[in-house]
């Protein structure tokens, strides 16, 4: 199956390229993706470049330069790539080199050479330099020159942005084999684990980053992924939480010394740097310290904060995160009950409280994959890089032409089942409508598809009727019977202005809600005669892209069985392409 | 589930209707299962043909 003798010498890694930080990962011979640390030992490498005396600093070292050398330091540039100046939001770059208009693109004016006059460097060039450093770090670690990569991008990255990224990578001598979407990469990172089982599931991937957050709802069917809905928030991210920590300490500082360190550019830069570190410490421990030398006016400052306090102060922001997830589920026209898994990705997902709040939003059976809720969870910061590395290992042997052909819309645009198909186990005495409907092929399954399932027949055996039908899920709401004293009105946690106690989510779910399957249209019926007592019936369904289907029903271990074919529906006006 | 009395059909099955029309969506070109799907689609193979190779 694997093409060992593929294209020439290609050595590919996975790169997750973020506004705040980037990661590099590779897949070893054992098929396990591994995130590579750079020479400073960082796995999350800040996407920052800084220039001091014509020397280039990268990553954490460059980040430290935000305090003393902010004008020659470039950060938060990923989202500027391939955009024109008018459409960008320069706020995140406020503390570093400012973006400015340069011809049709965005550029920064920095002193990156010995020359007297600062030079204008386009965002593409900055990206190239950043990718070159990442490539160098990976090459050094692996002892082999990296010349290709799979790079992750947000789902709403425009074609112009994609092209600009591929071009920037090319200038860094990296062949961008494929750009894959961040949420899908995160999902792939989980599904590529050796112990993972391919199953049909609806997954919400919440990517909480530094300066933006993205949530995607993805249908995973037979190992293939279809994005159902995405939401983006460009004003929500870890930076908001940093601000909470900064404000807390700044207020404490003012009380003591009567000066606001936030009004001093350098003081603010120092607070930002240390505040972020304190916030990260609070994700691991229940107490964290902050100490800054000469914060402002030469005053040293040190203090501590505990997690409870921090969570109290961040309550509003936490509920924005959960609100974003809920809005994505709503946008996909789904209910939280439909969701099987929630994958938390991005650095901010380390926050234990966010994972716990999301657990309250979703029913108990929904798995919330985050370090604080699932011990086997993968580090949220590493997910997309790992997914990219895995994809890179899958396609690096392919010819360029092969990859391009596979990405063509002819291949990726596929009919998806609009209704769930299931098997109804019909019994004689029961009303046929009430018969239990068991989903077999879920809605949103890409076609063609094939599914097999076994069903137990009644103890006594005998003749069995298998009815294949389409079904819909309904949500049955059962109000609690006994005295609803002081009935709580359904309140929207968005506008509960009282300093939001977290319990509001729990109070809301007074009634029990459950999923009920209802069959809507019978497709075919088949009779299987003389099934042994305690036997099982196996049903196989094959669906073609034109919606024709073949069904086989037979007794397990028995011979023959019933085979039937259902014609494809008459091609309607919007028939399948 | 026993067969209801009086149910009969030629060759023991009957087809009552066809499926509701499908929706066109983009699948994410990622992962081993997609690559297998792409291979089938590019060579116009079915599942069983693919397995035989």
B28/A446 CB distance under 8 A: no
Contact A529 B12 (CB under 8 A): yes
Contact: A444, B27; criterion CB under 8 Å: no
Closest Cα in chain A, distance from residue B7 (Å): 9
Nearest CA in chain B to A436: B1
Which chain A residue is nearest to residue B6, measuring alpha carbons? A428
In contact, A346 and A380? CB cutoff 8 Å: yes
Q: Is B51 on the interface with A (CB under 8 A)?
A: no
**Nearest-CA distance from B52 to chain A in Å?**
12
CA A569 from chain centre, in angstroms, equals 36
| Å between A238 CA and nearest CA of chain B | 28
According to the model, what pLDDT value does residue A426 have? 60
Write down the pLDDT at residue A293.
92
CA distance A196 to A398: 25
Closest by CA to A411, choosing from B25, B19, B47, B51, is B25
Look at the alpha carbons of A159, A146, A73, A259 in this order and tell me if their dihedral is positive or negative.
Answer: positive
Q: How far apart are CA A468 and CA A558, in angstroms?
A: 20
Kindly list the distances between the CA atom of residue A163 and the CA atoms of A87, A168, A212, A217, in Å, as whole numbers in the listed order.
Answer: 17, 9, 22, 26
Between chains, do A562 and B7 touch, taking CB under 8 Å as contact? no
A61-93 confidence digits (pLDDT tens): 999 999 999 999 999 999 999 998 888 988 888
With 0-12 CB in 10 A as exposed, 13-18 as middle and 19+ as buried, what is A173? Answer: middle
Q: What is the pLDDT of residue A302?
A: 93
- Enter the ipTM: 0.83
Tell whether B49 is within 8 A of chain A (Cβ): no
Burial class (CB within 10 angstroms; exposed 0-12, middle 13-18, buried 19+) of A40: exposed
Q: Are the beta carbons of A391 and B31 separated by less than 8 Å?
A: yes
Residue in the structure block whose two tokens are 């400012």: A98
pLDDT of residue A329: 95
For A311-459, strand residue ranges (E) read 341-345, 367-369, 413-416, 420-426, 436-441, 449-456
State the count of interchain CB pairs (< 8 A) between A and B. 187
pTM of the entire predicted model: 0.86
**Between chains, do B21 and A427 touch, taking CB under 8 Å as contact?**
no
Give the whole-angstrom CA distance, residue A47 versus residue A357: 30
Report the distance separating Cα A489 and Cα A179, nearest Å: 47
Question: Which among B14, B31, B41 has CB closest to A525?
Answer: B14
Crossing angle, helix A238-257 and helix A315-331, to 10 degrees? 170
User: Using CA atoms, how far apart are residues A524 and A529, in angstroms rounded to an integer?
Assistant: 16
DSSP H/E element including A275 = helix A265-284
Angle at A354 between CA A352 and CA A358, to 5 degrees: 120
pLDDT digits (tens, 9 = 90+) for A49-59: 999 988 999 99
Tell me: pLDDT of A544 over 70: yes
Which pLDDT does position A403 carry in this prediction?
84
User: In this structure, what are the phi and psi dihedrals at residue A12, rounded to the nearest 5 degrees?
Assistant: -110, 150
| Secondary structure of A295-348 in HEC code, one letter for each residue | EECCEEEEEEEEHHHHHHHCHHHHHHHHHHHHHHHHHCCCCHHHCCEEEEECHH
With a pLDDT cut of 90, the percent of chain A lying above it is 56
Distance CA A102, CA A110 (A): 13
All domains in chain A, ordered by first residue:
12-182+386-410 (3.30.420.40), 197-235+319-379 (3.30.420.40), 238-313 (3.90.640.10), 420-473+516-566 (2.60.34.10)
Torsion of CA A169, A174, A177, A182, to 10 degrees: -50
What is the chain A residue with the closest CA to B21? Answer: A418
CB contact under 8 A, A569 and B18: yes
Q: Is A572 on the interface with B (CB under 8 A)?
A: yes
Please report the DSSP string for B1-53 in residue order: -BPPTT---GGGEEE---PPPPEEEEBP--SHHHHHHHHHHHHT--HHHHHH-
Residue of chain A whose Cα is closest to the Cα of B33: A223
Dihedral Cα A186, A192, A193, A198, nearest 10 deg: 100
- Angle, alpha carbons B36-B37-B42 (nearest 5°): 100
CB contact under 8 A, A412 and B27: yes
Q: Establish if B3 touches chain A: CB-CB under 8 angstroms.
A: yes
Tokens 């291979």 sit on residue: B39
Instruction: Label residue A502 by pLDDT band (50, 70, 90).
Output: very low
**Contact predicate A106/A88, CB 8 Å:** yes
Which single residue is written with the structure tokens 């960082």? A42
State whether residue B10 sits within 8 Å of chain A by CB. Answer: no
Q: How far is B47 from chain A (nearest CA, A)?
A: 9
Mean pLDDT of chain A: 85
CA distance B3 to chain A (A): 5
Mean pLDDT, residues A348-353: 94
- B32 to chain A nearest CA, in Å? 7
**Shortest Cα–Cα distance, B43 to chain A (Å):** 11
Touching check for A120 and chain B: CB below 8 Å? no
| Closest Cβ opposite residue A463 in set B2, B17, B27 | B2
Q: Does B52 touch chain A (CB under 8 A)?
A: no
Q: Cα–Cα distance between A320 and A495 in angstroms, integer?
A: 11
- Does the CB of A218 have a partner CB in chain B at under 8 Å? yes
Query: How far is it between the farthest Cα atoms of chain B?
Result: 51
Q: Does the beta-carbon distance from B9 to A527 stay under 8 Å? A: yes
Q: Summarize pLDDT for A264-299 with one digit per residue, the tens.
A: 989 999 999 999 999 999 999 999 999 999 999 899
Residue B22 is nearest to which of A418, A426, A527, comparing CB atoms?
A418
What are the beta bridge partners of residue A130?
Answer: none
Query: In this model, does residue A2 exceed pLDDT 60?
Result: no
Chain A residues closer than 8 Å to B22 by CB: 415-418, 447, 547, 576
* Cis bond upstream, residue A448 (ω within 30): yes
pLDDT at A495 over 60: no
Res. A484: pLDDT tops 70 = no
**Mutation for B interface: A178, A203, A221, A446, most B CBs within 10 A:** A446
Q: What are phi and psi of A97, to 5 degrees?
A: -60, 135
Residues A17 and A165: their CA atoms lie apart, in Å, by 10
The pLDDT assigned to B3 comes to 58
Per-residue pLDDT of chain B (53 residues; tens, 9 = 90+): 555 555 666 666 777 777 777 888 888 888 888 888 888 887 776 666 666 65
Q: Which of A138-147, A150-159, A424-433, A533-542 has the lowest mean pLDDT?
A: A424-433
Phi, psi of A235 (to 5 degrees): -120, 10
Please report residues of B whose CB lies closer than 8 A to that of A446: 25, 27, 37
Instruction: Grade residue A318 by pLDDT with cuts at 50, 70 and 90.
Output: very high
In sequence order, what DSSP letters do the residues of A122-155 get, joined into one string?
Answer: EHHHHHHHHHHHHHHHHHHHHTS---EEEEEE-T
Q: Which of A3-17, A206-220, B18-32 bottoms out in mean pLDDT, i.e. has the lowest?
A: A3-17
């Amino acid at each position: 199956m694997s093409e060992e003798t593929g294209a020439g010498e290609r050595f590919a890694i996975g790169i997750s390229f973020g506004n705040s930080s980037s990661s590099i990962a590779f897949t070893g011979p054992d098929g396990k993706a591994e995130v590579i640390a750079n020479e400073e030992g960082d796995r999350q490498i800040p996407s920052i470049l800084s220039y001091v005396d014509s020397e280039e600093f990268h990553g954490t070292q460059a980040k430290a330069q935000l305090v003393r050398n902010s004008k020659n330091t470039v950060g938060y540039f990923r989202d500027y790539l391939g955009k024109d100046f008018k459409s960008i939001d320069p706020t995140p770059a406020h503390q570093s080199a400012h973006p400015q208009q340069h011809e049709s693109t965005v550029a920064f004016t920095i002193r990156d050479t010995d020359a007297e006059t600062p030079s204008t460097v386009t965002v593409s060039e900055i990206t190239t330099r950043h990718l070159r450093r990442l490539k160098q770090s990976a090459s050094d670690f692996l002892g082999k020159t990296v010349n290709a990569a799979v790079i992750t991008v947000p789902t709403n990255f425009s074609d112009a942005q994609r092209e600009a990224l591929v071009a920037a990578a090319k200038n860094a001598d990296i062949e961008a084999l494929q750009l894959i979407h961040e949420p899908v990469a995160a999902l792939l990172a989980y599904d590529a684990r050796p112990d993972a089982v391919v199953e049909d599931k609806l997954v919400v991937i919440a990517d909480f980053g530094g300066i933006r957050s993205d949530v995607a709802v993805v249908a995973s069917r037979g190992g293939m992924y279809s994005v159902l809905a995405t939401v983006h928030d460009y004003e929500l991210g870890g930076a908001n939480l940093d601000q909470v920590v900064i404000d807390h300490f700044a207020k404490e500082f003012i009380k003591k010394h009567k000066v606001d360190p936030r009004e001093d550019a350098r003081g603010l830069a120092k607070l930002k740097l240390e505040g972020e570190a304190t916030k990260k410490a609070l994700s691991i421990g229940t107490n964290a310290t902050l100490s800054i030398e000469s914060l402002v006016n030469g005053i040293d400052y040190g203090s501590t904060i505990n997690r409870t306090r921090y969570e109290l102060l961040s309550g509003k922001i936490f509920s924005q995160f959960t609100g974003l997830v809920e809005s994505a589920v709503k946008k996909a026209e789904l209910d939280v009950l439909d969701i099987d898994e929630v994958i938390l990705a991005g650095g901010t997902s380390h926050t234990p409280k966010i994972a716990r709040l999301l657990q309250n939003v979703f029913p108990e059976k929904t798995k919330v994959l985050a370090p604080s809720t699932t011990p086997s969870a993968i580090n949220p910061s590493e997910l997309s890089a790992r997914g990219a590395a895995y994809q890179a290992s899958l396609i690096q042997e392919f010819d360029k032409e092969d990859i391009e052909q596979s990405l063509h819309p002819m291949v990726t645009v596929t009919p998806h089942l609009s209704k769930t198909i299931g098997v109804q186990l019909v019994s004689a005495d029961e009303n046929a409508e009430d018969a239990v409907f068991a989903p077999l092929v879920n809605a949103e399954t890409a076609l063609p598809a094939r599914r097999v399932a076994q069903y137990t027949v009644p103890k006594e055996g005998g003749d069995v009727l298998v009815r294949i039908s389409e079904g819909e899920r309904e949500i049955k709401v059962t109000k609690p019977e006994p005295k609803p004293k002081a009935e709580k009105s359904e309140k929207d946690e968005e506008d509960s202005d009282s300093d939001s106690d977290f319990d509001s989510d729990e109070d809301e779910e007074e009634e029990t809600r459950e999923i009920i399957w209802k069959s809507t249209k019978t497709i075919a019926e088949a009779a299987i005669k003389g099934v042994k007592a305690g036997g099982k019936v196996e049903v196989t369904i094959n669906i073609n892209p034109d919606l024709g289907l073949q069904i086989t029903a037979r007794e397990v271990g028995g011979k023959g069985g019933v085979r039937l074919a259902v014609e494809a529906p008459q091609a309607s006006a919007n028939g399948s392409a | 589930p026993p067969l209801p009395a009086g149910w009969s059909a030629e060759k023991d099955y009957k087809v009552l209707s066809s499926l509701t029309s499908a929706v066109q969506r983009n699948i994410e070109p990622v992962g081993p299962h997609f690559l297998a799907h792409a291979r089938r689609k590019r060579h116009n193979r079915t599942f069983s043909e693919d397995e035989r190779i």
